[in-house]
Chains A and B, each alone.
Chain A
Amino acid sequence: MIPMLMIAAFLGLLLLINRHQLGVNTLNDYATASHSIGVLGITFGFLATWYVGAGYTVFSGFAVSYGMIGMYVIPYGIITLLVMYLVAEKSFIWGKKYNLRTQSELLGLRYRSDFIRILTGFAGVALSIPWLLMEWYTIGYVFNYATEGLISPLVGMVIGIAVVVSYVALGGMRSVVTANIIQGLYMMFAGSAVLIWVLYSELGGLQGAMQRLQTHAPEALTYPGPGWELSPNYWTAIVLTSGLGGFMWPWVYNKLFAADSIRTIKQSVLFAPILGILSFGLLIIVAMALHPLPFAQENPQQALLWIHAEAGVWPLAFFAVLVMAASLGTVSGILNAMSTAISGDMAQVLKRDISERSALTIARWSVVLIGLGALAGAYVREGLLVFLALMTYQGMIVLSPVVLLGLYWKRANRGGAVIGFLLGMAVSFGLTLAEPAFIQTYGWTPGVYGFLITLGIMLVAGFCRPVEAHVHTLWQDIAEARGCTRQPVGGMLAAQ
Protein backbone atom coordinates (compact mmCIF):
# COMPACT_ATOMS: atom_id res chain seq x y z
CA MET A 1 0.00 0.00 0.00
CA ILE A 2 2.78 2.44 0.93
CA PRO A 3 4.57 2.12 -2.45
CA MET A 4 1.28 2.69 -4.27
CA LEU A 5 0.53 5.76 -2.18
CA MET A 6 4.01 7.16 -2.75
CA ILE A 7 3.73 6.66 -6.51
CA ALA A 8 0.28 8.32 -6.46
CA ALA A 9 1.67 11.20 -4.39
CA PHE A 10 4.58 11.65 -6.82
CA LEU A 11 2.28 11.69 -9.85
CA GLY A 12 -0.04 14.11 -8.05
CA LEU A 13 2.92 16.36 -7.21
CA LEU A 14 3.94 16.50 -10.90
CA LEU A 15 0.43 17.58 -11.89
CA LEU A 16 0.14 20.04 -9.01
CA ILE A 17 3.41 21.78 -9.75
CA ASN A 18 2.64 21.88 -13.45
CA ARG A 19 -0.82 23.40 -13.10
CA HIS A 20 0.45 26.90 -13.88
CA GLN A 21 2.35 25.77 -16.99
CA LEU A 22 -0.60 24.46 -18.97
CA GLY A 23 -1.55 27.54 -20.99
CA VAL A 24 0.59 27.24 -24.11
CA ASN A 25 -0.64 29.17 -27.16
CA THR A 26 1.89 28.57 -29.93
CA LEU A 27 3.89 25.64 -31.24
CA ASN A 28 7.03 27.66 -30.60
CA ASP A 29 6.24 27.94 -26.90
CA TYR A 30 5.16 24.30 -26.83
CA ALA A 31 8.44 23.15 -28.40
CA THR A 32 11.01 25.48 -26.82
CA ALA A 33 9.31 27.26 -23.90
CA SER A 34 10.21 30.42 -25.85
CA HIS A 35 13.92 29.86 -25.13
CA SER A 36 13.42 30.66 -21.44
CA ILE A 37 14.78 27.71 -19.45
CA GLY A 38 17.59 28.36 -16.95
CA VAL A 39 20.45 26.22 -15.73
CA LEU A 40 18.45 24.18 -13.20
CA GLY A 41 15.90 23.20 -15.83
CA ILE A 42 18.46 22.37 -18.50
CA THR A 43 20.71 20.35 -16.14
CA PHE A 44 17.92 18.25 -14.70
CA GLY A 45 16.12 18.25 -18.03
CA PHE A 46 19.11 16.50 -19.59
CA LEU A 47 19.62 14.15 -16.68
CA ALA A 48 15.95 13.16 -16.29
CA THR A 49 15.58 12.63 -20.01
CA TRP A 50 18.82 10.77 -20.46
CA TYR A 51 18.40 8.40 -17.52
CA VAL A 52 15.80 5.91 -18.66
CA GLY A 53 13.63 3.96 -16.22
CA ALA A 54 14.81 0.77 -17.89
CA GLY A 55 18.27 1.68 -16.58
CA TYR A 56 17.07 0.44 -13.18
CA THR A 57 15.68 -2.80 -14.58
CA VAL A 58 17.00 -3.98 -17.94
CA PHE A 59 20.36 -2.19 -18.09
CA SER A 60 21.25 -2.62 -14.44
CA GLY A 61 20.49 -6.28 -15.17
CA PHE A 62 23.62 -6.29 -17.37
CA ALA A 63 25.67 -5.15 -14.38
CA VAL A 64 24.01 -7.76 -12.16
CA SER A 65 24.90 -10.50 -14.65
CA TYR A 66 28.23 -9.32 -16.05
CA GLY A 67 29.52 -6.72 -13.60
CA MET A 68 32.10 -4.21 -14.81
CA ILE A 69 30.73 -3.84 -18.35
CA GLY A 70 27.93 -1.67 -16.92
CA MET A 71 30.61 0.98 -16.30
CA TYR A 72 30.70 1.80 -20.03
CA VAL A 73 28.14 4.51 -19.22
CA ILE A 74 30.84 6.60 -17.46
CA PRO A 75 33.17 7.20 -20.47
CA TYR A 76 30.21 7.28 -22.82
CA GLY A 77 28.69 10.05 -20.70
CA ILE A 78 31.86 12.12 -21.08
CA ILE A 79 31.78 11.81 -24.89
CA THR A 80 28.11 12.79 -24.89
CA LEU A 81 28.85 15.87 -22.79
CA LEU A 82 31.74 16.80 -25.08
CA VAL A 83 29.34 16.66 -28.03
CA MET A 84 26.85 18.78 -26.06
CA TYR A 85 29.51 21.39 -25.27
CA LEU A 86 30.65 21.45 -28.91
CA VAL A 87 27.21 21.85 -30.47
CA ALA A 88 25.88 24.26 -27.82
CA GLU A 89 27.08 27.57 -29.23
CA LYS A 90 26.12 27.21 -32.88
CA SER A 91 22.84 25.41 -32.14
CA PHE A 92 21.89 28.17 -29.72
CA ILE A 93 22.86 31.06 -31.98
CA TRP A 94 21.19 29.69 -35.11
CA GLY A 95 18.34 28.37 -33.00
CA LYS A 96 17.58 31.78 -31.58
CA LYS A 97 18.26 33.82 -34.69
CA TYR A 98 16.12 31.62 -36.96
CA ASN A 99 13.71 30.70 -34.18
CA LEU A 100 14.38 26.97 -34.59
CA ARG A 101 12.52 24.37 -32.56
CA THR A 102 14.08 21.04 -33.40
CA GLN A 103 17.32 19.37 -34.35
CA SER A 104 15.80 18.48 -37.75
CA GLU A 105 14.94 22.11 -38.39
CA LEU A 106 18.54 23.03 -37.55
CA LEU A 107 19.80 20.48 -40.08
CA GLY A 108 17.27 21.71 -42.64
CA LEU A 109 18.66 25.23 -42.15
CA ARG A 110 22.31 24.19 -42.28
CA TYR A 111 21.96 22.03 -45.40
CA ARG A 112 19.18 24.21 -46.87
CA SER A 113 17.06 21.15 -47.45
CA ASP A 114 13.50 20.32 -46.49
CA PHE A 115 14.26 16.72 -47.44
CA ILE A 116 16.94 16.47 -44.75
CA ARG A 117 14.58 18.09 -42.28
CA ILE A 118 11.81 15.57 -42.98
CA LEU A 119 14.23 12.64 -43.21
CA THR A 120 15.94 13.31 -39.89
CA GLY A 121 12.62 14.24 -38.26
CA PHE A 122 11.13 10.95 -39.37
CA ALA A 123 14.23 9.02 -38.28
CA GLY A 124 14.12 10.68 -34.88
CA VAL A 125 10.46 9.73 -34.41
CA ALA A 126 10.90 6.17 -35.68
CA LEU A 127 14.02 5.46 -33.64
CA SER A 128 12.38 6.84 -30.48
CA ILE A 129 9.42 4.47 -30.62
CA PRO A 130 11.17 1.42 -29.07
CA TRP A 131 12.36 3.60 -26.17
CA LEU A 132 8.88 4.94 -25.63
CA LEU A 133 7.41 1.44 -25.63
CA MET A 134 10.11 0.19 -23.28
CA GLU A 135 9.55 3.04 -20.85
CA TRP A 136 5.78 2.48 -20.85
CA TYR A 137 6.47 -1.18 -20.21
CA THR A 138 8.76 -0.25 -17.30
CA ILE A 139 6.09 2.04 -15.79
CA GLY A 140 3.50 -0.75 -15.94
CA TYR A 141 5.97 -3.27 -14.55
CA VAL A 142 6.94 -1.06 -11.59
CA PHE A 143 3.29 -0.32 -10.78
CA ASN A 144 2.60 -4.05 -10.79
CA TYR A 145 5.64 -4.97 -8.69
CA ALA A 146 5.27 -2.16 -6.15
CA THR A 147 1.59 -2.95 -5.53
CA GLU A 148 2.25 -6.70 -5.29
CA GLY A 149 0.05 -7.35 -8.30
CA LEU A 150 -2.85 -5.17 -7.19
CA ILE A 151 -2.44 -2.92 -10.23
CA SER A 152 -1.90 -4.84 -13.45
CA PRO A 153 0.90 -3.70 -15.81
CA LEU A 154 -1.69 -2.53 -18.34
CA VAL A 155 -3.58 -0.42 -15.80
CA GLY A 156 -0.26 0.93 -14.52
CA MET A 157 0.66 1.96 -18.06
CA VAL A 158 -2.71 3.66 -18.54
CA ILE A 159 -2.26 5.66 -15.32
CA GLY A 160 1.24 6.71 -16.35
CA ILE A 161 0.07 7.64 -19.86
CA ALA A 162 -2.84 9.70 -18.52
CA VAL A 163 -0.56 11.74 -16.27
CA VAL A 164 2.24 12.37 -18.77
CA VAL A 165 0.02 12.95 -21.78
CA SER A 166 -2.01 15.55 -19.87
CA TYR A 167 0.92 17.71 -18.82
CA VAL A 168 2.91 17.30 -22.04
CA ALA A 169 -0.05 18.01 -24.35
CA LEU A 170 -1.20 21.03 -22.37
CA GLY A 171 2.07 22.49 -21.17
CA GLY A 172 4.68 21.43 -23.75
CA MET A 173 8.38 21.97 -23.05
CA ARG A 174 7.75 24.21 -20.03
CA SER A 175 5.79 21.43 -18.30
CA VAL A 176 8.30 18.80 -19.38
CA VAL A 177 11.20 20.75 -17.87
CA THR A 178 9.29 21.63 -14.70
CA ALA A 179 8.54 17.94 -14.18
CA ASN A 180 12.15 17.08 -15.11
CA ILE A 181 13.44 19.30 -12.30
CA ILE A 182 11.28 17.40 -9.77
CA GLN A 183 12.23 14.06 -11.31
CA GLY A 184 15.91 14.92 -11.54
CA LEU A 185 16.14 16.24 -7.98
CA TYR A 186 14.38 13.12 -6.72
CA MET A 187 16.68 10.85 -8.76
CA MET A 188 19.86 12.55 -7.56
CA PHE A 189 19.03 12.93 -3.88
CA ALA A 190 16.22 10.58 -2.74
CA GLY A 191 17.20 7.98 -5.34
CA SER A 192 20.89 8.01 -4.41
CA ALA A 193 19.99 7.95 -0.70
CA VAL A 194 17.86 4.83 -1.05
CA LEU A 195 20.54 3.06 -3.09
CA ILE A 196 23.12 3.86 -0.39
CA TRP A 197 20.69 2.68 2.29
CA VAL A 198 20.22 -0.68 0.55
CA LEU A 199 23.95 -1.02 -0.12
CA TYR A 200 24.68 -0.69 3.60
CA SER A 201 21.61 -2.39 5.10
CA GLU A 202 21.38 -5.40 2.76
CA LEU A 203 24.73 -5.82 1.05
CA GLY A 204 27.30 -5.17 3.77
CA GLY A 205 28.39 -1.72 2.66
CA LEU A 206 30.75 -0.78 -0.16
CA GLN A 207 33.79 -2.65 1.10
CA GLY A 208 31.78 -5.66 2.26
CA ALA A 209 30.02 -5.98 -1.09
CA MET A 210 33.25 -5.62 -3.06
CA GLN A 211 35.00 -8.12 -0.79
CA ARG A 212 32.22 -10.64 -1.38
CA LEU A 213 32.55 -10.12 -5.12
CA GLN A 214 36.32 -10.63 -4.94
CA THR A 215 35.80 -13.86 -3.03
CA HIS A 216 32.90 -15.37 -4.95
CA ALA A 217 33.03 -13.83 -8.44
CA PRO A 218 36.24 -11.85 -9.09
CA GLU A 219 35.63 -12.04 -12.84
CA ALA A 220 32.64 -9.69 -12.36
CA LEU A 221 35.07 -6.95 -11.30
CA THR A 222 36.69 -6.76 -14.72
CA TYR A 223 35.58 -6.71 -18.35
CA PRO A 224 33.86 -8.63 -19.96
CA GLY A 225 32.47 -10.36 -16.90
CA PRO A 226 31.55 -13.94 -16.03
CA GLY A 227 30.63 -16.27 -18.87
CA TRP A 228 31.28 -13.79 -21.67
CA GLU A 229 33.97 -13.90 -24.34
CA LEU A 230 34.27 -10.45 -25.85
CA SER A 231 36.96 -8.55 -27.70
CA PRO A 232 38.10 -5.31 -26.01
CA ASN A 233 37.04 -3.67 -29.30
CA TYR A 234 33.46 -4.23 -28.16
CA TRP A 235 34.04 -1.96 -25.17
CA THR A 236 35.47 0.73 -27.46
CA ALA A 237 32.54 0.33 -29.85
CA ILE A 238 29.75 0.57 -27.26
CA VAL A 239 31.36 3.61 -25.65
CA LEU A 240 31.76 5.40 -29.01
CA THR A 241 28.37 4.36 -30.35
CA SER A 242 26.52 5.42 -27.23
CA GLY A 243 28.68 8.50 -26.65
CA LEU A 244 28.26 9.94 -30.14
CA GLY A 245 24.65 8.80 -30.44
CA GLY A 246 23.67 9.83 -26.91
CA PHE A 247 23.27 13.50 -27.70
CA MET A 248 21.72 12.95 -31.12
CA TRP A 249 18.33 11.94 -29.73
CA PRO A 250 15.85 14.70 -30.64
CA TRP A 251 14.37 14.51 -27.14
CA VAL A 252 17.80 15.34 -25.69
CA TYR A 253 19.10 17.70 -28.38
CA ASN A 254 15.91 19.79 -28.57
CA LYS A 255 16.44 21.01 -25.01
CA LEU A 256 19.27 23.17 -26.38
CA PHE A 257 16.61 25.29 -28.08
CA ALA A 258 14.78 25.74 -24.78
CA ALA A 259 17.82 27.20 -22.99
CA ASP A 260 17.87 30.92 -22.27
CA SER A 261 21.59 31.33 -23.02
CA ILE A 262 24.82 29.60 -24.02
CA ARG A 263 25.99 30.16 -20.45
CA THR A 264 23.07 28.04 -19.22
CA ILE A 265 23.90 25.14 -21.54
CA LYS A 266 27.61 25.18 -20.73
CA GLN A 267 26.98 25.41 -16.99
CA SER A 268 24.73 22.36 -17.34
CA VAL A 269 27.65 20.47 -18.87
CA LEU A 270 29.67 21.26 -15.74
CA PHE A 271 27.03 19.97 -13.31
CA ALA A 272 25.92 16.95 -15.31
CA PRO A 273 29.17 14.90 -15.18
CA ILE A 274 29.50 15.13 -11.43
CA LEU A 275 25.84 14.29 -10.79
CA GLY A 276 25.82 11.63 -13.48
CA ILE A 277 29.04 9.93 -12.41
CA LEU A 278 28.00 9.83 -8.76
CA SER A 279 24.48 8.56 -9.31
CA PHE A 280 25.15 6.13 -12.14
CA GLY A 281 28.35 4.83 -10.56
CA LEU A 282 26.37 4.15 -7.40
CA LEU A 283 23.66 2.34 -9.35
CA ILE A 284 26.18 0.08 -11.09
CA ILE A 285 28.00 -0.67 -7.83
CA VAL A 286 24.74 -1.73 -6.14
CA ALA A 287 23.76 -3.81 -9.18
CA MET A 288 27.16 -5.52 -9.25
CA ALA A 289 27.00 -6.18 -5.52
CA LEU A 290 23.92 -8.29 -6.23
CA HIS A 291 25.84 -10.57 -8.58
CA PRO A 292 26.74 -13.28 -6.01
CA LEU A 293 23.13 -13.63 -4.80
CA PRO A 294 21.30 -16.60 -6.38
CA PHE A 295 17.95 -14.81 -6.83
CA ALA A 296 19.66 -11.90 -8.57
CA GLN A 297 21.60 -14.27 -10.83
CA GLU A 298 18.37 -15.93 -11.92
CA ASN A 299 16.35 -12.68 -12.22
CA PRO A 300 18.86 -9.96 -13.09
CA GLN A 301 16.33 -7.44 -14.41
CA GLN A 302 14.19 -7.78 -11.31
CA ALA A 303 17.14 -7.79 -8.92
CA LEU A 304 17.13 -4.14 -7.84
CA LEU A 305 13.39 -4.10 -7.14
CA TRP A 306 13.77 -7.38 -5.24
CA ILE A 307 16.60 -6.17 -2.96
CA HIS A 308 14.68 -2.99 -2.15
CA ALA A 309 11.61 -5.08 -1.30
CA GLU A 310 13.87 -7.19 0.95
CA ALA A 311 15.00 -4.00 2.68
CA GLY A 312 11.42 -3.10 3.56
CA VAL A 313 8.34 -1.43 2.28
CA TRP A 314 9.74 2.12 2.49
CA PRO A 315 12.91 1.41 0.50
CA LEU A 316 10.74 -0.35 -2.10
CA ALA A 317 8.42 2.65 -2.22
CA PHE A 318 11.32 5.10 -2.65
CA PHE A 319 12.92 2.91 -5.31
CA ALA A 320 9.64 2.45 -7.22
CA VAL A 321 9.25 6.23 -7.35
CA LEU A 322 12.86 6.51 -8.49
CA VAL A 323 12.23 4.21 -11.48
CA MET A 324 8.95 5.99 -12.15
CA ALA A 325 10.69 9.40 -12.09
CA ALA A 326 13.32 8.22 -14.57
CA SER A 327 10.71 6.71 -16.89
CA LEU A 328 8.39 9.70 -16.81
CA GLY A 329 11.29 12.09 -17.42
CA THR A 330 12.28 10.20 -20.56
CA VAL A 331 8.73 9.62 -21.77
CA SER A 332 7.74 13.28 -21.43
CA GLY A 333 10.81 14.38 -23.39
CA ILE A 334 10.15 11.80 -26.12
CA LEU A 335 6.49 12.77 -26.42
CA ASN A 336 7.33 16.46 -26.67
CA ALA A 337 10.02 15.85 -29.30
CA MET A 338 7.94 13.40 -31.35
CA SER A 339 4.86 15.61 -31.40
CA THR A 340 6.93 18.68 -32.33
CA ALA A 341 8.60 16.72 -35.14
CA ILE A 342 5.26 15.47 -36.49
CA SER A 343 3.74 18.93 -36.42
CA GLY A 344 6.71 21.21 -37.18
CA ASP A 345 9.10 19.05 -39.21
CA MET A 346 6.54 17.08 -41.19
CA ALA A 347 3.04 18.65 -41.30
CA GLN A 348 4.23 22.27 -41.58
CA VAL A 349 6.85 21.37 -44.19
CA LEU A 350 4.48 19.33 -46.33
CA LYS A 351 1.71 21.96 -46.03
CA ARG A 352 3.25 25.39 -45.60
CA ASP A 353 0.06 27.27 -44.78
CA ILE A 354 -0.63 25.49 -41.48
CA SER A 355 -0.91 28.23 -38.84
CA GLU A 356 0.98 28.16 -35.55
CA ARG A 357 -2.27 27.54 -33.70
CA SER A 358 -3.21 24.61 -35.95
CA ALA A 359 0.32 23.28 -35.63
CA LEU A 360 -0.07 23.36 -31.86
CA THR A 361 -3.33 21.43 -32.12
CA ILE A 362 -1.63 18.83 -34.32
CA ALA A 363 1.19 18.51 -31.78
CA ARG A 364 -1.26 18.08 -28.90
CA TRP A 365 -3.31 15.43 -30.68
CA SER A 366 -0.09 13.70 -31.69
CA VAL A 367 0.80 13.36 -28.01
CA VAL A 368 -2.58 11.78 -27.26
CA LEU A 369 -2.43 9.40 -30.22
CA ILE A 370 1.19 8.42 -29.56
CA GLY A 371 0.28 7.81 -25.92
CA LEU A 372 -2.59 5.53 -26.88
CA GLY A 373 -0.55 3.81 -29.58
CA ALA A 374 2.21 3.15 -27.10
CA LEU A 375 -0.14 0.92 -25.15
CA ALA A 376 0.96 -1.62 -27.73
CA GLY A 377 4.09 -1.81 -25.60
CA ALA A 378 2.08 -3.96 -23.22
CA TYR A 379 1.81 -6.63 -25.89
CA VAL A 380 5.39 -6.61 -27.18
CA ARG A 381 7.83 -9.05 -25.61
CA GLU A 382 10.27 -7.35 -23.27
CA GLY A 383 13.23 -9.07 -24.93
CA LEU A 384 12.20 -7.69 -28.31
CA LEU A 385 11.82 -4.18 -26.86
CA VAL A 386 15.33 -4.31 -25.42
CA PHE A 387 16.72 -5.58 -28.72
CA LEU A 388 14.97 -2.81 -30.67
CA ALA A 389 16.00 -0.11 -28.19
CA LEU A 390 19.65 -1.13 -28.33
CA MET A 391 19.45 -1.33 -32.14
CA THR A 392 18.30 2.28 -32.33
CA TYR A 393 21.69 3.44 -31.03
CA GLN A 394 23.21 1.87 -34.17
CA GLY A 395 21.05 4.35 -36.08
CA MET A 396 21.62 7.41 -33.92
CA ILE A 397 25.42 7.26 -34.24
CA VAL A 398 24.96 7.59 -38.02
CA LEU A 399 23.35 10.99 -37.48
CA SER A 400 26.35 12.33 -35.58
CA PRO A 401 28.57 13.11 -38.64
CA VAL A 402 25.62 14.91 -40.25
CA VAL A 403 25.24 17.10 -37.16
CA LEU A 404 28.90 17.59 -36.18
CA LEU A 405 30.29 18.15 -39.69
CA GLY A 406 27.31 20.37 -40.44
CA LEU A 407 28.15 22.58 -37.48
CA TYR A 408 31.94 22.62 -37.80
CA TRP A 409 32.85 22.03 -41.46
CA LYS A 410 31.79 24.53 -44.09
CA ARG A 411 32.32 22.04 -46.91
CA ALA A 412 29.74 19.58 -45.53
CA ASN A 413 26.95 19.63 -48.10
CA ARG A 414 23.44 18.44 -48.71
CA GLY A 415 24.28 15.65 -51.17
CA GLY A 416 26.90 14.14 -48.88
CA ALA A 417 24.60 14.38 -45.87
CA VAL A 418 21.63 12.71 -47.59
CA ILE A 419 23.57 9.91 -49.31
CA GLY A 420 25.85 9.39 -46.32
CA PHE A 421 22.98 9.25 -43.85
CA LEU A 422 20.90 6.83 -45.94
CA LEU A 423 23.81 4.52 -46.78
CA GLY A 424 25.13 4.65 -43.23
CA MET A 425 21.72 3.67 -41.86
CA ALA A 426 21.43 0.87 -44.43
CA VAL A 427 24.86 -0.50 -43.48
CA SER A 428 24.22 -0.14 -39.76
CA PHE A 429 20.82 -1.82 -39.70
CA GLY A 430 21.79 -4.32 -42.42
CA LEU A 431 24.73 -5.56 -40.32
CA THR A 432 22.58 -5.58 -37.17
CA LEU A 433 19.99 -7.81 -38.80
CA ALA A 434 22.38 -10.00 -40.82
CA GLU A 435 24.87 -10.45 -37.94
CA PRO A 436 27.88 -11.53 -40.06
CA ALA A 437 30.59 -13.41 -38.19
CA PHE A 438 33.12 -10.55 -38.22
CA ILE A 439 30.82 -8.40 -36.07
CA GLN A 440 31.16 -10.92 -33.26
CA THR A 441 34.82 -11.77 -33.74
CA TYR A 442 36.20 -8.27 -34.29
CA GLY A 443 33.98 -6.62 -31.70
CA TRP A 444 32.91 -3.39 -33.41
CA THR A 445 29.16 -2.87 -33.31
CA PRO A 446 27.30 -2.30 -36.63
CA GLY A 447 26.79 1.37 -35.85
CA VAL A 448 30.56 1.96 -36.02
CA TYR A 449 30.62 0.75 -39.64
CA GLY A 450 27.55 2.86 -40.47
CA PHE A 451 29.21 5.87 -38.85
CA LEU A 452 32.41 5.38 -40.88
CA ILE A 453 30.40 5.06 -44.12
CA THR A 454 28.50 8.29 -43.42
CA LEU A 455 31.65 10.12 -42.36
CA GLY A 456 33.58 8.91 -45.43
CA ILE A 457 30.83 9.86 -47.89
CA MET A 458 30.37 13.29 -46.34
CA LEU A 459 34.12 13.98 -46.47
CA VAL A 460 34.42 12.89 -50.11
CA ALA A 461 31.31 14.83 -51.12
CA GLY A 462 32.59 17.88 -49.27
CA PHE A 463 35.85 17.95 -51.24
CA CYS A 464 34.07 17.30 -54.55
CA ARG A 465 31.97 20.46 -54.46
CA PRO A 466 32.57 24.08 -53.52
CA VAL A 467 31.18 25.45 -50.29
CA GLU A 468 27.46 26.18 -50.66
CA ALA A 469 26.72 29.92 -50.77
CA HIS A 470 24.31 30.06 -47.83
CA VAL A 471 26.91 28.49 -45.53
CA HIS A 472 29.03 31.65 -45.57
CA THR A 473 26.06 33.61 -44.24
CA LEU A 474 25.49 31.08 -41.45
CA TRP A 475 29.14 31.27 -40.42
CA GLN A 476 28.88 35.04 -40.54
CA ASP A 477 25.97 34.79 -38.08
CA ILE A 478 28.27 33.02 -35.63
CA ALA A 479 31.09 35.52 -36.09
CA GLU A 480 28.73 38.43 -35.54
CA ALA A 481 27.19 36.86 -32.46
CA ARG A 482 30.65 36.22 -31.01
CA GLY A 483 31.36 39.86 -31.56
CA CYS A 484 28.22 40.55 -29.51
CA THR A 485 26.70 42.68 -32.24
CA ARG A 486 22.94 42.69 -32.25
CA GLN A 487 21.36 40.73 -35.08
CA PRO A 488 18.72 42.10 -37.41
CA VAL A 489 15.33 40.52 -36.93
CA GLY A 490 14.60 37.89 -39.55
CA GLY A 491 17.92 36.89 -41.00
CA MET A 492 18.95 35.25 -44.18
CA LEU A 493 16.28 32.64 -44.55
CA ALA A 494 13.42 34.92 -43.71
CA ALA A 495 14.54 37.07 -46.60
CA GLN A 496 14.61 34.22 -49.10
Chain B
Amino acid sequence: MRAAVFVLLILATTTLSTLPFVFQWSNRIEPTLLGLPFAFLWQFGLALLAAIFFVGWYLADKRRGRLDVDVTMGDRR
Protein backbone atom coordinates (compact mmCIF):
# COMPACT_ATOMS: atom_id res chain seq x y z
CA MET B 1 0.00 0.00 0.00
CA ARG B 2 2.81 2.36 0.96
CA ALA B 3 4.60 1.49 -2.30
CA ALA B 4 1.44 2.37 -4.24
CA VAL B 5 1.43 5.84 -2.64
CA PHE B 6 5.01 6.49 -3.76
CA VAL B 7 4.33 5.13 -7.24
CA LEU B 8 1.37 7.51 -7.49
CA LEU B 9 3.42 10.45 -6.24
CA ILE B 10 6.22 9.80 -8.75
CA LEU B 11 3.71 9.21 -11.54
CA ALA B 12 2.13 12.54 -10.61
CA THR B 13 5.44 14.32 -11.17
CA THR B 14 5.89 12.68 -14.56
CA THR B 15 2.28 13.49 -15.43
CA LEU B 16 2.92 17.14 -14.57
CA SER B 17 6.00 17.15 -16.77
CA THR B 18 4.50 15.32 -19.75
CA LEU B 19 0.71 15.57 -19.93
CA PRO B 20 0.03 17.81 -22.97
CA PHE B 21 -2.12 20.52 -21.38
CA VAL B 22 0.07 20.84 -18.26
CA PHE B 23 3.19 20.70 -20.39
CA GLN B 24 1.85 23.46 -22.65
CA TRP B 25 1.15 25.61 -19.58
CA SER B 26 4.75 25.17 -18.40
CA ASN B 27 6.22 25.64 -21.86
CA ARG B 28 7.17 29.34 -21.52
CA ILE B 29 10.16 31.53 -20.88
CA GLU B 30 9.00 33.70 -17.96
CA PRO B 31 9.65 33.68 -15.05
CA THR B 32 13.36 32.95 -15.26
CA LEU B 33 15.99 32.07 -12.65
CA LEU B 34 19.71 32.51 -13.36
CA GLY B 35 18.66 33.07 -16.95
CA LEU B 36 17.02 29.66 -17.19
CA PRO B 37 13.51 29.74 -18.68
CA PHE B 38 10.49 28.50 -16.74
CA ALA B 39 10.14 25.51 -19.09
CA PHE B 40 13.53 24.25 -17.85
CA LEU B 41 12.92 25.08 -14.23
CA TRP B 42 9.62 23.18 -14.32
CA GLN B 43 11.30 20.02 -15.65
CA PHE B 44 14.25 20.30 -13.23
CA GLY B 45 11.96 21.03 -10.29
CA LEU B 46 9.68 18.07 -10.94
CA ALA B 47 12.68 15.78 -11.38
CA LEU B 48 14.07 16.91 -8.03
CA LEU B 49 10.63 16.40 -6.45
CA ALA B 50 10.59 12.87 -7.85
CA ALA B 51 14.06 12.32 -6.41
CA ILE B 52 12.72 13.36 -2.98
CA PHE B 53 9.86 10.87 -3.34
CA PHE B 54 12.38 8.16 -4.21
CA VAL B 55 14.24 8.96 -0.99
CA GLY B 56 10.98 8.74 0.99
CA TRP B 57 10.13 5.42 -0.65
CA TYR B 58 13.59 4.07 0.11
CA LEU B 59 13.34 5.11 3.75
CA ALA B 60 9.90 3.51 4.02
CA ASP B 61 11.28 0.28 2.52
CA LYS B 62 14.20 0.44 4.92
CA ARG B 63 11.92 0.83 7.93
CA ARG B 64 9.87 -2.19 6.83
CA GLY B 65 13.01 -4.30 6.37
CA ARG B 66 12.39 -4.73 2.64
CA LEU B 67 15.99 -3.95 1.65
CA ASP B 68 17.75 -6.91 3.19
CA VAL B 69 15.81 -9.97 2.12
CA ASP B 70 17.63 -13.22 2.60
CA VAL B 71 17.67 -15.45 -0.44
CA THR B 72 19.97 -18.41 -0.84
CA MET B 73 21.37 -18.79 -4.31
CA GLY B 74 19.84 -21.80 -6.00
CA ASP B 75 20.97 -24.20 -8.69
CA ARG B 76 20.61 -23.25 -12.31
CA ARG B 77 17.25 -24.30 -13.61
Within 8 A of A (CB), among B20-77: 20-21, 23-24, 27-29, 32, 34-37, 39-40, 43-44, 46-48, 50-51, 54-55, 57-58, 61, 65-77
Chain B residues lying within 8 Å of A75, measured Cβ to Cβ, are 14, 17-18, 43, 46-47
| Cβ contacts under 8 Å, B48 to chain A | 277
Question: Interface size (B, Cβ < 8 Å)?
Answer: 47
Q: Enumerate chain A residues within 8 angstroms of B70, measured Cβ to Cβ.
A: 481, 484-487
Alpha-carbon distance A477/B66, docked complex (angstroms): 14
- For B55, what are the chain A residues with a Cβ–Cβ distance below 8 Å? 270
Report the bound CA distance from A273 to B54 in whole Å. 9
**A214→B61 CA distance, assembly (Å):** 45
> With A221-B29, A263-B67, A493-B77 in contact, do A207 and B47 touch (Cβ < 8 Å)?
no
Whether A223 lies near B39 (C-beta < 8 A) is yes
Query: A210-B35, A222-B27 known; A98 and B51 CB under 8 Å?
Result: no
Q: A221-B37, A482-B66 are in contact. Are A74 and B74 (CB under 8 A)?
A: no
A177 vs B46: C-alpha distance when bound (angstroms):
30
B69 touches A93 (CB 8 A): yes
**A99–B72 touching, CB < 8 Å:** no
Contact status B71-A210, CB under 8 Å: no
* Known contacts A82-B10, A235-B23; A270 and B54 CB within 8 A of each other: yes
A209 touching B35, Cβ below 8 Å = yes
Does B11 reach chain A (CB closer than 8 Å)? yes
**From B55, which residue of chain A is reached at the shortest CB distance?**
A270
B18 and A236 form a contact (CB under 8 A): yes
Q: Contact: B39 with A490, CB < 8 Å?
A: no
**CA–CA, A485 and B20, complex, Å:** 47
Which residues in B have some Cβ–Cβ distance to A below 8 Å? 7, 10-11, 13-14, 17-21, 23-24, 27-29, 32, 34-37, 39-40, 43-44, 46-48, 50-51, 54-55, 57-58, 61, 65-77
Residues of A whose CB lies within 8 Å of any CB of B are 28, 35, 68, 71, 74-75, 77-79, 81-82, 85-86, 89, 92-93, 96-99, 109, 206-211, 214, 218, 221-223, 231-233, 235-236, 239-240, 243, 261-263, 266-267, 269-270, 273-274, 277, 281, 285, 481-482, 484-491, 493-494, 496
Given A79-B14, A97-B71, 7 new contacts (CB under 8 A): A71-B40, A96-B72, A206-B36, A209-B35, A235-B23, A243-B14, A277-B48
